[in-house]
Amino acid sequence: MSAARTARTALAATLVAGLAVTALASPALAAAPPKPSHAATQQALDALVAEGVPGVVAQARDGKDRWTGTAGDRKGNDRFRVGSITKTFTSTVLLQLQAEGRIDLDDPVEKWLPGVVTGHGHDGGKVTVRQLLNHTSGIYSYTSDPAFQERVFGTDFLRHRYDTWTPRQLVAVAMAHEPDFAPGTSWNYSNTNFVLAGMVIEKVTGRPYGKAVENRIIKPLKLRATSVPGTDSRVRGPHSGAYSKLARDTTGPTYDVTALNPSIAGAAGEMISDSNDLQTFYRALLKGRLLPPAELREMTDTVEIGPGTGYGLGLMRQKLSCGKEVWGHGGGIHGSSSQAVATRDGEHSLAGNLNADWAGDSQKLIDAEFCGTAPKK
């Protein structure tokens, strides 16, 4: 019972002490707040399947209320590849290391990774770790390289799905291209930034970045469905298939891409989780359970990247059409499109996944849950 309700009940008892206990109970029950509705979110799930997504799952928490919805061929406890949601985990670890005095985010990357960011105009001495985390480094994204795209995202994927890529190999792909801009002068999303961030964590801690994520976030929060798979091609635990066209033409054949070597994404996007764990993570992060106040302020200090949208340190802010503001990250990888967001106080959250990468817009789940916007038919 809330403190306010306890006070109201005590006052009623003082004023009408002669009434029966049952008479006192009725006003308290009548004052109970209505249970949040997630009808629009379920409608969004159904609409996404109607658009061609094989299956969708989402879970929302609003205060103590918890709701799980599915559509198509999905289970409520499905685990899935979260793609770039990994970036928030990676950034959180680096902010923790700064809070411990083991690194300064304004250190040049060259200090920690000498000779790695170099060639074709790239200069690790002019790029800071902070610029990696908020995508203002100007470093070219290795996932934009045409040859890499053909091998990893086209039909060549079927021959190369189990290939292992080291972080240095991924960075080398980027270093073969000119920078997008001079460090600190603009903004552009680059997966290379977070591969480098993972390498910095390894240099500071002496262990792979994934071990730091496990020991500092996964274990303390008891995220039992969350893992950093490394080179393991499997999705362990309950899960549905992940599907892709492996082409820009969305009318072609559909391939099962569930199994893949996630080293192609590394600290930029390799992790696996579920809707429940992702909400636990973002709620804990925004409530200050993972970072001291100073570091959390740094994380939420955003660069404006579009109307109502800002990017902090591995964390994105969105102002929705209804005026509400949410914080979190989206993620895409073969056969998987995910969203995980929460209000700034961490009280209302949503996480969900589409098991396809050619149809549907996962943003619709956010609009439905926080604005009650049902998809148009």
Phi, then psi, of 280 in degrees rounded to 5: -60, -40
Look at residue 99 and tell me if it is in a domain: yes
Are 25 and 105 contained in the same domain? no
Are 249 and 133 contained in the same domain? yes
pLDDT tens readout for residues 228-261: 999 999 999 999 999 999 987 778 899 999 999 9
Residue 142 confidence (pLDDT) above 80 = yes
Are 340 and 239 contained in the same domain? yes
Count of domains in the chain?
2
Q: Token match 């800071």: residue?
A: 128
- Angle formed by the axes of helices 191-205 and 86-99, to 10°? 40
**Other Cβ atoms closer than 10 A to 246:** 22
Are 250 and 265 contained in the same domain? yes
Are 248 and 180 contained in the same domain? yes
Residue 28 confidence (pLDDT) above 60 = no
Are 263 and 288 contained in the same domain? yes
Are 147 and 50 contained in the same domain? yes
Are 92 and 108 contained in the same domain? yes
Buried b (16+ CB within 10 A) or exposed e, 85-111: bbbbbbbbbbbbbbbeeebebeebbbe
Are 19 and 76 contained in the same domain? no
pLDDT tens readout for residues 283-293: 999 999 999 99
Q: How far apart are CA 259 and CA 239, in angstroms?
A: 12
Alpha helices per DSSP H over 206-342: 209-213, 275-286, 293-299
Is residue 273 part of the annotated active site? The answer reads no
Catalytic residue among 2, 26, 37, 84: 84
**Domain of residue 50, CATH code:** 3.40.710.10
Look at residue 377 and tell me if it is in a domain: no
Are 129 and 9 contained in the same domain? no
Range of the domain at 328: 39-371
Look at residue 376 and tell me if it is in a domain: no
Are 76 and 137 contained in the same domain? yes
Look at residue 260 and tell me if it is in a domain: yes
pTM: 0.91
pLDDT tens readout for residues 306-321: 999 999 999 999 999 9
Look at residue 90 and tell me if it is in a domain: yes
- Is 167 in a helix, a strand, or coil? helix
Are 95 and 119 contained in the same domain? yes
Q: How far apart are CA 196 and CA 368, in angstroms?
A: 35
